[in-house]
Amino acid sequence: QVNFIALNDGSTINNVQIVVDLSNFDEEMLKLITTGACISVNGELTESIGSGQAAEIQAREIEVLGACDNTYPLQKKGHTMEFLREIAHLRPRTNTFGAVFRIRHNMAIAIHKFFHERGFFYFHTPIITASDCEGAGQMFQVTTKNLYDLKKDENGSIIYDDDFFGKQASLTVSGQLEGELAATALGAIYTFGPTFRAENSNTPRHLAEFWMIEPEVAFNDIIDNMDLAEDFIKYCVQWALDNCYDDVKFLNDMFDKGLIERLQGVLNETFVRLPYTEGIKILEEAVAKGHKFEFPVYWGVDLASEHERFLVEEHFKRPVILTDYPKEIKAFYMKQNEDGKTVRAMDVLFPKIGEIIGGSEREADYNKLMTRIEELNIPMKDMWWYLDTRKFGSCPHSGFGLGFERLLLFVTGMTNIRDVIPFPRTPRNAEF
């Protein structure tokens, strides 16, 4: 009489089958081998006669290294993603999350490889900062002050003199501004690190802590920037298909039957390059023909992901790079076009997720940048060093930001961004 044990060490989606001849082993010891238990097996690797695997191990010795009692929450049945988020400390042991986190590692390797091979330098920008790059004000504060006893001046403003940095400090929302400094010195750089947004967004595509990749290249204009973005994403997708095929195939078969087809589709298509104004026209025509959007469409609106996805999934049926946005809805550092209304922005829009990359050619002209900063009332005391790059031998330069987890959503076919990062940080959730 024989028993079979499915064993996995986490290095691959595939288990190895252990064949146990019951007459050779102690019955009490075998009872300890339950779902989740950790065991060590010595035996002989043989060709398998059963279907489902090519080889198996005939066990000679088995040692139970860690027993697992019956309260183990991962039993042999399908679990919902919501349930698994509640046990994020155990979910990496499931097939699904094993696949996702192996792919996550491979994508990180691909990113470094892509930039290194093209002569970019990996540049580390600070995580604690006193400047708000996006001007959105949604930043987490970093302080050593006693919050129960805050010193304030006569206007009721907090005095930061006795704080650790002697001024108000926050977690970074982007490494871009420092990245621009580096690009004007080293030529081509990229950052890749954690970024923080304190916006109260409880959506399947927002995290409060996420990872971002930000290349910045001296002498690149908006066209070069679009070329770089397209090459970069295609390289990463190709890497996933070449190096993580078993895991991608598992996610394709279990979660998203169109995943591999969509990945190959992106590789085979040239991305559409579409001015914002044209995009609005297409959306307005769709509305005129009876298409219902939840949010209104008009020139000047910041597109919602339903609008972005309509352009990509229904109208063009391939990725779209949207350019030349109204300056009102874009950040202060983007280069203004001659029309005085739009800026040289570029957002890469993808099926299923909407925006995956946001970038622009940067405003290299000191006076134009100053005017824009004044229009938006951005506190200059924090930005003097950034303006120096425009005073001291400025050059045209461009760059973009890619949310690492959004790339992973695309490559894994997962539908919620909380399921592509090991321990998600979202409003009211900082468990584990």
pLDDT at 377: 84
pLDDT at 78: 83
Q: Are 386 and 180 in contact (CB under 8 A)?
A: yes
pLDDT at 384: 87
pLDDT at 50: 82
Q: Which of 29-43, 58-72, 263-277, 364-378 has the least mean pLDDT?
A: 364-378
Model confidence at 131: pLDDT above 90: no
Predicted confidence (pLDDT) per residue in 153-197, tens digit: 999 989 999 999 998 899 999 999 999 999 999 999 999 999 999
Share of the chain above pLDDT 70, in %: 98
Kindly indicate the confidence band of residue 135, based on its pLDDT and cuts at 50, 70 and 90. low
Predicted confidence (pLDDT) per residue in 327-337, tens digit: 999 999 999 99
User: What are the DSSP calls for 396-425, one per residue?
Assistant: -EEEEEEEHHHHHHHHH--S-GGGSSSS--
Q: Which of 73-82, 141-150, 214-223 has the least mean pLDDT?
A: 73-82
Give the helix/strand (H/E) hosting 324.
strand 320-326
Q: Are 41 and 7 in contact (CB under 8 A)?
A: yes
Q: Which of 197-206, 222-231, 378-387 has the least mean pLDDT?
A: 378-387
Would you tell me the crossing angle of helices 176-186 and 384-391 to the nearest 10 degrees? 30
Mean of the per-residue pLDDT values for the chain? 94
Predicted confidence (pLDDT) per residue in 295-319, tens digit: 999 999 999 999 999 999 999 999 9
pLDDT at 130: 83
Model confidence at 133: pLDDT above 70: no
pLDDT at 77: 80
Angle at CA 208, nearest 5°, toward 387 and 320? 70
| Edge-to-edge strand ranges of the sheet holding 354-361 | 121-122, 188-196, 209-218, 397-403, 354-361, 342-350, 320-326, 272-275
Give the helix/strand (H/E) hosting 62.
strand 55-66
How large is the average pLDDT for residues 199-221?
95
pLDDT at 241: 98
Model confidence at 136: pLDDT above 70: no
